[in-house]
A and B are shown apart, each in its own frame.
Chain A
Amino acid sequence: MGNLFKNAKRFLIKIGNVIKNIFWNIRRILNNYKRKISNFLDKKRLNPAGKFPGWAKALLYLSPALIVLAIFTFWPIINSFALVVYENYNMSNNTITGYTLFGNFIRVLTDESFIVPASHTASSAVINTLIIVFISVPISIFLALAISVALNSIKPLKSFFQTIYFLPYVTNTIAIGLVFAYMFKTDGGLVNEFLSFFGIQTDGLSWVESNAVYWRSMFVLIFYSIWASLAFKIMVFLTSIQGIDKQYYQAAAIDATPKGRIFSKITVPLISPMIFYITVTSVIGAFKIYNAIVALFGVTGAPPGVSYNLQSIVMYIYQFIDGSNAGNLSVAAAGSLILFAIILVLTIVQMQVSKKRVHY
């Protein structure tokens, strides 16, 4: 029996070798032809490699991606600059009543649900977004750092834990949102059950349902966005921590460095480029928050029966595209340019700060 198995294995290896040989020979023949063609072209002085500079070839290979990007990214950007000067643009019949330089911006900036909340509501799109950005981003970065350092230091079941922490990344955002909404249900939700276990009165304690208090639903939203963004951050930090030369830690150990100082003086500075990258991208990502809110509170962006609204800047922009004010693309363009300006300023600030703090 064992002999049969051995013979079968040997036979398979032989077949494998034959196939590999065939491929080897195909490559030899092709190379031969390639050489012949290029010799021929050289003789006729037709060889394109000599005629065109290197970047022309690069451009050729990049062109499929560039074309797609041009149609779906660059053109809309340019177009939004064009749209923003139209007055009362109507998408359905493509008419305008005139041109204006700042009219659309003024309309957005003075809108009661954009910056300054109206008297009857506690929130505006900008305030909501800023709260989400400035609370969820720092917390999620610190959490991700702490978790990745912890993950890096455990020895048994290392890859198991790493997989566990990476799972949220491959899970659908909307699905996670629905699960969260279910967890924070008023009646029989996991969180309320948990709280009542500790003797806290949870009757009618609403998180995301009707008559939820602003900060309570905001807490759920921030909690959710931290959790959803944690996995990617952990993965990036963990890979860069694993890339740090072990000798730094050995040297630190010999110098009797406490754990906290190893973290703050060695680990963090050495992965600071990655922390900076994550900070910039997650600030941008948090400013663009949209599906988290939709998943938790639906397209209205508010629990039923409340006076406030949890909509973000992007949600505010979307209402001019297919929401309550559909078709007013000029206002939407103005809104997105304002969002762009905010992100640009913040990114420049971050880059200035990083010059001193990031060690490449």
Chain B
Amino acid sequence: MELRLENLTKIFTNKNGQETKAVDSLDITIESGTLVGLLGPSGCGKSTTLFMIAGLVKPTTGKIFFGDDDVTKLAPEKRGIGLVFQNYALYPHMTVFKNILFPLENMDVPRDEAFERVKAMANLVGIGELLDRKPSQLSGGQQQRVAIARALVKKPRVLLLDEPLSNLDARLRLQMREEIKRIQRETGITTIFVTHDQEEAMSISDKMVVLDFGKEQQYDPPQDMYNSPDNLFVAKFLGNPPINSFEAEVKNKKLIINEKPFMQVNIPDGLYDVGMRPENFRVKEDGFQTTVKEIFHIGRDTMIHFDFNGKNVRALVDSESINDKQKTVNLTIKTERVYLFDKQTGKVVNHG
């Protein structure tokens, strides 16, 4: 089922009458059956957006559509959603079985069918043999699966996940990521996944939304967003190690770095923010000469630090292509991998 947010805005007012725009005129359409990641730094309004979709928070203005139904004014229980909370909110006094059964008890489901569905769902998420345990007797990953099973057992129209992996350790997080993806594929349910971890969002999402200060920054498939960010914020937010950004001047359609022309650009003269991803640099004889400040070997790759316009810049290059004693190194980077951003708006000017 398609999910559409129209001009969705949430303004919180505190006791002193100060207003905070948690979500700022969001316009997003989420196609049926896709897994969409809501990504952004903490406090960017991603959880608020999720709770508005769930109906737990009332939007100030704007509309939410599930398919063709306007659900903006609908109470949460009438929306047909499944929500997995950050700390799962499993009822501690009930067994796993009872926890998963709970949503069905409130619905008009025959007892036998309900039991059947609980068992099927438990097997789908891989906790079939833990049904008699209490949540406190489960590991974090197992609790997470129970929470997902509880959210899915009533066959919701939309599945919402609020930072579901943040309480798990690193290894389990990787595993659960794949699990969630698998479960989503098997059930084909439209899913929204909130996270602040860009790597997690990129690996799990079909498409993702990057938010900052409640404003949508970009809505694209992860790889497209990575390769052609709309603005400096998205460029900086995605990627690890982060993108290098520094100030540079364009003179006569040439980008000037370290007082030398670096490359041809087809944009008006002026000052720009330049972004170059560390992994896009290559060592090449005919490249741009830089003075090496430091070299770090990190297994397969080598990290070189050098100066571009007085800013420390990192390049991640093949370990074979450089040796420790080199004082200078010649680097190249593909023209389409150099991002120029407008100084005022932060928008990309040489892409898209």
Interface residues of A (CB under 8 A from B): 245, 247-248, 250-258, 261, 265-266, 269-270, 272, 359
- Nearest-neighbour CB distance to chain A for B90, whole angstroms, equals 8
A250→B93 contact, CB < 8 A? no
Q: How far is the CA of A187 from the CA of B76 in the complex (A)?
A: 56
Q: A256-B77, A256-B78, A257-B77 are in contact. Are A251 and B89 (CB under 8 A)?
A: yes
At the interface, yes or no: B102 with Cβ under 8 Å from chain A?
yes
Q: A247-B85, A247-B87, A250-B85 are in contact. Are A255 and B92 (CB under 8 A)?
A: no
Q: Which residues of A contact B89 (CB under 8 A)?
A: 245, 247-248, 250-251
B87→A359 contact, CB < 8 A? no
Q: Which residues of B contact A359 (CB under 8 A)?
A: 92-93
Closest 10 CB pairs of A and B: A256-B77, A359-B93, A247-B89, A255-B103, A269-B93, A251-B89, A256-B106, A253-B76, A254-B76, A254-B83
Q: Which residues of A contact B103 (CB under 8 A)?
A: 255-256
A253→B93 contact, CB < 8 A? no
A253→B92 contact, CB < 8 A? no
Contact digits for B204-222, partner A, Cβ 8 Å, 1 yes 0 no = 0000000000000000000
Q: Which residues of A contact B102 (CB under 8 A)?
A: 252, 255, 257, 265
Given contacts A253-B77, A261-B106, could you give 4 more A-B pairs where the C-beta distance is less than 8 Å? A247-B87, A254-B55, A270-B92, A359-B93
A266→B91 contact, CB < 8 A? yes
B87→A255 contact, CB < 8 A? no
- Nearest-neighbour CB distance to chain B for A93, whole angstroms, equals 61
Interface residues of B in 94-127 (CB under 8 A from A): 94, 102-103, 105-107
Q: Which residues of B contact A265 (CB under 8 A)?
A: 91, 94, 102
- Nearest-neighbour CB distance to chain A for B309, whole angstroms, equals 46
- Nearest-neighbour CB distance to chain B for A162, whole angstroms, equals 20
Q: Which residues of B contact A253 (CB under 8 A)?
A: 56, 75-77
- Nearest-neighbour CB distance to chain A for B270, whole angstroms, equals 47
Q: Which residues of A contact B150 (CB under 8 A)?
A: 251
Q: Which residues of B contact A258 (CB under 8 A)?
A: 106
What are 24 A-to-B residue pairs whose CB atoms are below 8 Å? Answer: A248-B89, A248-B91, A250-B76, A250-B85, A250-B89, A251-B83, A251-B85, A251-B150, A253-B56, A254-B77, A254-B79, A254-B81, A255-B154, A256-B106, A256-B107, A261-B106, A265-B91, A265-B102, A266-B91, A269-B93, A269-B94, A270-B91, A270-B93, A359-B92
Q: How far is the CA of A176 from the CA of B105 in the complex (A)?
A: 46
Q: Which residues of A contact B105 (CB under 8 A)?
A: 261
The number of A-B residue pairs with CB atoms under 8 Å apart is: 59
Q: Which residues of A contact B91 (CB under 8 A)?
A: 248, 265-266, 269-270
Number of B residues, CB within 8 Å of A: 25
B93→A255 contact, CB < 8 A? no
At the interface, yes or no: B54 with Cβ under 8 Å from chain A?
yes
Q: How far is the CA of A255 from the CA of B76 in the complex (A)?
A: 8
Q: Most chain-B Cβ atoms within 10 A of its Cβ — which of A245, A255, A265, A269?
A: A255
Q: How far is the CA of A257 from the CA of B106 in the complex (A)?
A: 6
At the interface, yes or no: B82 with Cβ under 8 Å from chain A?
yes
- Nearest-neighbour CB distance to chain B for A147, whole angstroms, equals 23
- Nearest-neighbour CB distance to chain A for B287, whole angstroms, equals 55
- Nearest-neighbour CB distance to chain B for A357, whole angstroms, equals 10
Q: How far is the CA of A360 from the CA of B69 in the complex (A)?
A: 43
B56→A250 contact, CB < 8 A? yes
Q: How far is the CA of A270 from the CA of B81 in the complex (A)?
A: 25
Q: Which residues of B contact A261 (CB under 8 A)?
A: 105-106
Q: How far is the CA of A245 from the CA of B88 in the complex (A)?
A: 11
Q: Which residues of A contact B87 (CB under 8 A)?
A: 247
In this complex, what residue of A is CB-closest to B103?
A: A255
- Nearest-neighbour CB distance to chain A for B149, whole angstroms, equals 13
Q: How far is the CA of A248 from the CA of B56 in the complex (A)?
A: 12
Q: How far is the CA of A282 from the CA of B173 in the complex (A)?
A: 48
- Nearest-neighbour CB distance to chain A for B238, whole angstroms, equals 30
Q: Which residues of B contact A247 (CB under 8 A)?
A: 85, 87, 89
Q: Which residues of B contact A248 (CB under 8 A)?
A: 89, 91
In this complex, what residue of B is CB-closest to A269?
A: B93
- Nearest-neighbour CB distance to chain A for B75, whole angstroms, equals 8
Q: Which residues of B contact A251 (CB under 8 A)?
A: 83, 85, 89, 150
Q: Which residues of A contact B77 (CB under 8 A)?
A: 253-257
Q: How far is the CA of A253 from the CA of B105 in the complex (A)?
A: 13
Q: How far is the CA of A168 from the CA of B304 in the complex (A)?
A: 74
In this complex, what residue of B is CB-closest to A256?
A: B77
Q: Which residues of A contact B54 (CB under 8 A)?
A: 250, 254
In this complex, what residue of A is CB-closest to B78?
A: A256
Q: Which residues of B contact A256 (CB under 8 A)?
A: 77-78, 103, 106-107
Q: How far is the CA of A255 from the CA of B94 in the complex (A)?
A: 16
In this complex, what residue of B is CB-closest to A261?
A: B106
Q: Which residues of B contact A269 (CB under 8 A)?
A: 91, 93-94
- Nearest-neighbour CB distance to chain A for B134, whole angstroms, equals 9
- Nearest-neighbour CB distance to chain B for A153, whole angstroms, equals 16
Q: How far is the CA of A258 from the CA of B89 in the complex (A)?
A: 18
Q: How far is the CA of A270 from the CA of B54 in the complex (A)?
A: 24
Q: How far is the CA of A255 from the CA of B154 in the complex (A)?
A: 8
Q: How far is the CA of A266 from the CA of B105 in the complex (A)?
A: 14
Q: How far is the CA of A261 from the CA of B82 in the complex (A)?
A: 19
- Nearest-neighbour CB distance to chain B for A247, whole angstroms, equals 4
Q: How far is the CA of A2 from the CA of B81 in the complex (A)?
A: 57
- Nearest-neighbour CB distance to chain B for A341, whole angstroms, equals 33
- Nearest-neighbour CB distance to chain A for B84, whole angstroms, equals 9
Q: Most chain-A Cβ atoms within 10 A of its Cβ — which of B83, B87, B89, B154?
A: B89
Q: Which residues of B contact A252 (CB under 8 A)?
A: 102
Q: How far is the CA of A218 from the CA of B245 in the complex (A)?
A: 84
Q: How far is the CA of A258 from the CA of B75 in the complex (A)?
A: 13
- Nearest-neighbour CB distance to chain A for B15, whole angstroms, equals 15
Q: Which residues of B contact A257 (CB under 8 A)?
A: 77, 102, 106
In this complex, what residue of B is CB-closest to A250?
A: B56
In this complex, what residue of B is CB-closest to A268?
A: B93
A254→B82 contact, CB < 8 A? yes
Q: Most chain-B Cβ atoms within 10 A of its Cβ — which of A245, A248, A251, A253?
A: A251
